[in-house]
Structure 1
Amino acid sequence: MTFWAYLLRCSDGSYYAGHTDDLERRLGQHQSGEVQGYTCQRRPLALVWSQDSARCDEALAAERQIKGWSRRKKEALIAGDWADLHDAAIPPGERALRLRSGRTDVGAGCTNLENDG
């Protein structure tokens, strides 16, 4: 059986993350208003991202992770922009610290070129 994590764009521009074992049926339920809750008053909806999984717990974990993400991270996921997704994951305090220290490259093992001797 295949399970799905998915992301919908609502008519008000917000995003809704969910998971299911039947993506087409679930989208139909969202579109018809059969699913009460967040999406019911924000139709029409558009499927903007989905990922299949072999296990239900994997799809649920993906849904929960995405629900906690910022709008920027969700939009990077939709666009498939992995560099921006990674950059958006840096907490603002860490980003400020990196800028103050001159370390703007976020890759592992990067050095501050000004201090290389």
Structure 2
Amino acid sequence: MSVACVKPWFVYLVRAANGALYCGISDDAQRRFAAHQSGRGARFFHSSPAVALVYVETCGSKGDALRRERAIKQMNKPAKEALVSAQRSDSVNGQAIS
């Protein structure tokens, strides 16, 4: 009996050139960010290109990622910026980023 390896899903925030934050999910956040930068991603970036992947959160399943994405999308901009700042300070302090 083998145990299937569950691939993690990620919720991410990308900053656009105009300062807006885009929230999405993917099973490979770096690959998806590259797609956004190259114009193969969301139409959101047609008016203002993607400039930085500023937040990545690991989720246990696609369903968990979808629920977390919905929660983040319902946040106001200051709350989203707080997520970005908290993760940036964690990475500066050498903490693992979830």
Smaller-chain TM-score range?
0.7 to 0.9
- Residue type of the partner of 1:45? V
Q: Give the whole-Å Cα distance in 1 for the aligned partners of 2:29 and 2:40.
A: 14
Any stretches of 5+ residues in structure 2 without a counterpart? 1-6, 88-98
* 1:19 and 2:25 are equivalent in the alignment: yes
Contact 2:16 2:51 in 1 (8 A): yes
1:8 maps to 14
TM-score normalised by L of structure 1: 0.64
Runs of 4+ in 1 over 3 A off after TM superposition: none
Structure ID, larger Rg? 1
Partner of 1:39: 45
Say which of 53, 56, 64 aligns to 1:58: 64
Matched positions, count: 81
User: Are residue 71 (structure 1) and residue 77 (structure 2) matched?
Assistant: yes
Residue 87 (structure 1) aligns with: none
Structure 1: stretches of 5+ with no match in the other structure: 82-117
Is the partner of 1:12 in helix, strand or coil?
coil
- RMSD (Å), alpha carbons: 1.5
- Conserved in 2, the CA contact under 8 Å of 1:3 and 1:22? yes
Deviations 1:2-54 (A, max 9, x none): 10000111100111000011112111110001124112321142111110112
TM-score by structure 2 length? 0.76
**1:49/1:11 CA distance change after superposition, 3 Å:** same
2:22 and 2:54 mapped to 1: Cα distance? 10
- Per-residue displacement from partner, 1:37-74 (whole Å, max 9, x unpaired)? 11232114211111011200111111111111111101
The 2-side partners of 1:40 and 1:28 are apart by 14
Aligned partner letter, 2:63:
D
Residue 13 of structure 2 aligns with an amino acid whose one-letter code is L
